[in-house]
Structure formats: C-alpha cells, structure tokens
Chains A and B, each alone.
Chain A
Amino acid sequence: MPDAKPLSFQVPAPAVRPGGTPDFSDVQISRAGEVRRPEVDAAPEDIRDLAYAIIRVLNRESEAVGPWAGLLSDAELLEGLRHMMTLRVFDARMQMAQRQGKTSFYMQHMGEEAVSCAFRKALEPGDMNFPTYRQAGLLIAGGYPMLDMMCQIYSNELDPMKGRQLPVLYSAREHGFFSISGNLATQFIQAVGWAMASAMKRDTRIAVGWIGDGSTAESDFHAGLVFASTYKAPVVLNIVNNQWAISTFQGIARGGSGTFAARGLGFGLPALRVDGNDYLAVHAVAKWAIERARRNLGPTLVEYVTYRVGAHSTSDDPSAYRPKTESDAWPLGDPVLRLKGHLILRGIWSEERHKQAEAEILAEVIAIQKEAESHGTLHSGPHPSARDMFEGVYEQMPPHLRRQRQQAGV
C-alpha cells in the first residue's frame, strides 16, 4: 500500500483538566418531565430512545413534573431527604475519623446520595443488592444500624466482618446487601446468577447489580449483560455514572459509544438513563425496572447520571486531575438541595426545619460514633483477635491451618 498515510493513535481526554474552566457543555440534558414513561411491559426495541435521554422529574423551579412524577407521598419524600442528609453527615464524620487516624481508609458519597437512597425504597424485603463501595445509602435507607457500619469501618471488636475487610466493604445479608468485594465489577455477573437462581426456584425475589462507569470496561459487565439477556433474569442492572474513575474521566471507559445505557441495546435490554441527582426520578425509574423484573419481564439496564463531588477515596486528591470548581459547574445540581427545595415548595419543609434536622442528625451520628469508638478503632482499643484471622477460611478448619494457627501462637 504505497499510498497509505500513517495511522494515528487516539486517546480520549476530558474537556478540561486542573487550571481550566469547567465545561459540561457536552452533557445533553433533557428537560424535566420531557421524557416519556412507557408501560412496564414495553418492548425493548420500542424504547431505545430512553438510552440517550435523561429521565428527570424535578425542574429548576423545584417542581415535580412529567409522567415519572407523583409516586411518593409527603412522608416518603421527607424520609428520603433525611436518609440523604444522614448519609452525608455519616460520610463527613467517617472521612474525618480517617483523617484522625481512626481507620485506614474511607469512601464517601458526596453528590451521589440520591442514587442508592432512593433506589432502596423501591425494593421489597428479600431482594438482594450486589453493590459497589458507593452505595451505603442502601444500608442507611434500609435501616441497617449505623453502629454496625462504623464498627466495620473501625475494624473494632464489634466489626461484623471481624476485621477481615477494608473499611466500607460491608456485608449485610438480612438487609439485602451482598458482601462487597473490593475487586471491581465481579458483583455484576453474580447479581445475574442470584437472579437466575431466584427464577429457577420460582421465587418472587429479584436481584440488583451495581457497577460504576469506569468498571463497565471489565469483562464481568459484559458477562452480566450476556447472561441477563440470555436467561431473561429478574435483575436490575445499575450503572452509576459519576463521571470519574479515580483520575480517569468516563470517556476512557465509554469510548465512542453514545451512553453507558446504550451498551444494553445490543443485548436487547430495555435501557434507561436517569438524572441520578433527582431523588424522585431515581425512585420512579427504580420502581419501573424493579416491577419489570418482578413481573418476569426480564432485566433492565439503568444509567444514573451523577457526579462524584468528593475524592474517589481518602487516598486521592481530585484537584490533581480535574478543576477544583468542576463540581459547582455540574449541571444536575446537588441531590440534597434539590429535594429540599422541592419539599419547601410543597410546603412541608423550611430552611429552619432543615437546619434543625441537620443538627439532630449530626447529634445522632456523633452519639453513635462515640459508642462505636468505645468498642475500639483500628489502632486502639478492643479489636478482633489474631485467632479470628484463621477462622472462616473454610467451614471446618483444615489441619494445615490449625497447625499454622498454633505456630502463630494464637
């Protein structure tokens, strides 16, 4: 090919890096209320447009508008706000505790609280989540004791995981919360397997798989979609697109594809995109997808468009890879402020009550934190024994581990 021009290698890059002016002009945002709400049994091929739109309920005036609005009562909305506020305070306290050396590591949810808090309220008892590390709202909104969460984070004597897991990698079977791995994406196909089992046993429970935008690049994501679509498993497959995979912008995982939701189209799955910072929209879409699974209509892929305001974890500094003010420029706003604004507009909330609630929640979380710390923190106070380290590798301890435990002298 003597006429061939040299090829060129292309690496996607975000619009802006530190020092630049935040720019989200490429994020196409549907107007609140604009996106249609199909019947739950709609054929996937008839709703392909939903993989490219963004389902939104709360508009700029804090009104709930459109076909996805009107599902939640005043009491449920107030409870939802409280869950998100609680998660935010919980995060702030645990983030600080990590800085104080009381634990090794923490991961907060700032900006993403609506996704897991609202989703949880659409589930039934017995349903099983296969979460990532940024869905603690499933626990908070599901009534899991914050004391147990903190004891896990502190790896103290009451840690339900006996000090074996990194902080925030909770497990809460009775609360429909599968053990978090720490290896990304592995849970996605497991959720499909759990759902397949539920269908095989003619159960009524459904599963929910969670994954982040970055880890959709893992093969487990692909396997999950293949198995879910092949066996029509009763599973909701959630992609939380918070724009950033540590320092890597979502375009590296997404490449030239239109949206993450659109990944589902090739599998014949209904694929919806939703405003992840809109509590009402998240809840409405969750309800839709969960009902679909429950009615044996098969899996749904949902992309939650949100923004990770905080660092990935306590081990990275976002100012090293994105403009400091980028989160302020995020066009979908803050989930807590948006729901608060809506409740005020509805006449069931006020600035004063919000401040009061913040103070109450802070006091409650601090009290629980004190109690948790009385049972030890990572480097001081009571903690799981070295003997515990050898337990639970197998159901029965095999002879070679018994010998090693003896060698360890514990």
Chain B
Amino acid sequence: MPRRTMVEAIRDAMDVAMQRDDNVVVFGEDVGYFGGVFRCTQGLQQKFGASRCFDTPISELGIVGAAVGMAAYGLRPCVEIQFADYMYPAYDQIVSEAARLRYRSNGQFTAPMVVRMPTGGGIFGGQTHSQSPEALFTHVAGLKTVVPSNPYDAKGLLIASIEDNDPVIFLEPKRLYNGPFDGHHERPVTPWARHPLGEVPEGHYTVPLGKAAVRREGAAVTVLAYGTMVFVAEAAVQETGIDAEIIDLRTLVPYDLDTIAASVEKTGRCVVVHEATLTSGFGAELSALVQENCFYHLEAPVVRVTGWDTPYPHAQEWDYFPGPARVGRALKAVMEA
C-alpha cells in the first residue's frame, strides 16, 4: 500500500471526491495555480480546470460566504482557509449562515460544505499561525468539527466530510502534515513513510464522522486526545511506562461518547489533552462529559493538560506547547491521586 504524507492524503481525498462528483469545487487563497501554501491542492487545478479549483481574493469572509451561496445552489464546496488563525473574518458566515441554514429554512436550503484549515502550533508560527480554535466551532449548533491525526484518517475523514450534507470544519494539524510529531522538537522529524498510519489506500474510502479510534489499549488511565496530541500522549505513555488507553477523538462534534465512556469506565481515570488554551476549551466539555457519565467509575479527578491561557507565543513555543513531559506528569499525578 502506498505511503503518503498527510498533505498528500488530503490532496488525494479532494482528488477522489472531485472525480466522483462534479459538484465538488475547491478554492481559497493561493489554492489554484500554486496549489496552496502547504501544497494540499497541488495539481488539482491542472487536473480539473480553473472552474473546479481556483484562487480567491484575500477575503475569508468572501471565501466562506461564496461557498454558502454555492452550497445553496447545489455544489459541494471544499474551501481552504490558509491558517485557522485567519478564519475570524469568516466566523459570522460559518456560525450564523452555514451552521444554521438547514435549521432556519427548515431544510429548504442546506450548506453541504467543508472549511479546511491548518491548525495548531509547533512550527514557530507565532500567535497568527499556531492557534487551535476548535472550541469556537464545537460550541456552534449545526457544525461538525473534525481533527484528523494521520494520513489514513485524514483522507477518509475528508472524503466523508465532503460527502456529508452538513457543514464540516476540518482542522488539519499542520505539524502533522509531514510526519507524526510527539512533541520532541529537538529530535529529527519522523516521516509518515515510516509510520503504519501513513499507509493510505488508493481510491475511495471513508472514515465515518462521529467515531473515535482507540490508538493504544490500556488499563490504567484513559487519555482523550486529538490531532498532534495523540502522538504526544503516545510518547508520554512510553516514557512513563503507564498503561494508558489513548483515544483519538477524530471528530469533536458529534463526539463519540460511547467509546469515551467505555474506556473511562474500564480505567477509572482520565486525562484530557489539547493544544488549545485551557479555559472554555474543548477539554472542558470532555471533562464534564466524563464527570456526568462516568462519575461512579472515577478513581481520581479528571485532569486537563492544555496550552496556557495566553496568546500563542513565538520564542516560548516549547514552554507553551503541552509536550510529553507535561502530559507524563499529569499521567503520574492521576495515577497517584
């Protein structure tokens, strides 16, 4: 089976979706001729023509607003916001329009569209190229929010998102584009070619939205993670020797409560990790869900390991990023509680 980077897997997903359905169109800033600043759309304009894949003015509001109109027409736009940090001008179109169109028109108009955006830190991008704004989407009724952690899932989840009849926010952890990253920034980059989840089947397949994956089975503690933090958690588990069960949520909304609850009921302990800031982060929701649904199985309080409540800094990137050492300390603390 071919090994692909996450960038290639994402590109392949759009390629497959565009071949299967003429209504799938791809556009965004630098997306057409150049193929995107991260190269995710490279070759698509050449292959499908400029009316299926094209460049847009620098207007996130315009990109998403036009996509809502196109979706209402009957297309399936899959648009790129160059960095998740740039999505704020489009937020009204996402929240008030795409998310609510089906509801407010009682299904007369829908917004089957995907808004892709690179998310997260680890590339020395400073405060405007490193944010993880997933909680700003998970809080919105009518949106689905997806965060893949590897090439196999990225392709299958993106095809599923494009085929979904509701608007999907597809957050691509940019530090994972070229290889799994476990937070050990001082070590050489591992390429996807050496990781089993870099094996990406040819052609069409989907990974269903709303289903988590158990990345590592374990009995001692459940780690709830998504995106880059899945690999950080794996490193922390390896380094502490704690027999943790690592759950990769993959879809944040709708979330897979069955998988989460089954694991916590088994382990009795839970650590929630994400890169985004702590307060009102998606970890708060996960923590509350575990408390509400698994309280009588818990041996210890749920602990969150997240980015600090500061803007994402530049020079202090590795002080901010919740790396394996911090996750490892949390695992130990939960085990000792």
Contacts and interface: CB of A to CB of B under 8 A. Distances in A.
A247 interface: no
A394 B66 contact: no
Contacts of B97: 181, 183, 186, 190
Contacts of A197: 25, 69-70, 73-75
A200 B165 CA distance: 21
A227 B59 contact: yes
Contact of B57 (A181, A186, A226): A226
B165 A395 contact: yes
Interface string A169-210: 101110000110101001011111111111011000001000
A189 B62 contact: yes
A190 B257 contact: no
Interface string B66-103: 11111011110000000000000100110011000111
A219 interface: yes
Given A183-B96, A186-B97, A196-B66, A395 B104 contact: no
Contacts, number: 143
Given A179-B101, A179-B108, A223-B61, A189 B96 contact: no
A285 B25 CA distance: 33
A223 B106 contact: no
Contacts of B142: 393-394
Contacts of A230: 56-57
Interface stretch (A49-57, A156-164, A304-312, A333-341): A156-164
Contact of B102 (A189, A194, A394): A394
B107 interface: yes
A223 B67 CA distance: 12
A394 to B, nearest CB: 5
Contacts of B65: 186, 188-190, 192-193, 220, 223-224
Contacts of B70: 193-194, 196-197, 200
Contacts of B258: 399
B102 A192 contact: no
A207 B74 CA distance: 14
Interface string B109-152: 11000000000000000000000000000000110100000000
A399 B144 CA distance: 13
Contacts of B201: none
A392 B166 CA distance: 10
A70 B96 CA distance: 43
Given A186-B65, A190-B72, A200-B75, A226 B102 contact: no
B316 interface: no
Contact of A171 (B75, B89, B108): B108
Nearest to B55: A230
A206 to B, nearest CB: 12
Nearest to A403: B257
A162 B59 CA distance: 34
A398 B210 contact: yes
Contact of B67 (A169, A181, A193, A201): A193
Contacts of A190: 65-66, 68-69, 72, 97
Contacts of B101: 179
Given A162-B106, A164-B103, A223-B62, A400 B68 contact: no
B321 interface: no
A130 interface: yes
8 contacts: A128-B73, A161-B104, A171-B104, A181-B104, A220-B92, A393-B102, A393-B103, A399-B254
Interface of B: 25, 51-52, 56-57, 59, 61-62, 65-70, 72-75, 89, 92-93, 96-97, 101-110, 141-142, 144, 164-166, 210, 253-255, 257-258
Given A173-B108, A196-B66, A197-B70, 17 more contacts: A171-B105, A173-B109, A179-B105, A193-B67, A193-B69, A200-B25, A200-B75, A201-B73, A220-B65, A230-B56, A393-B102, A393-B103, A394-B144, A395-B110, A398-B254, A400-B254, A400-B257
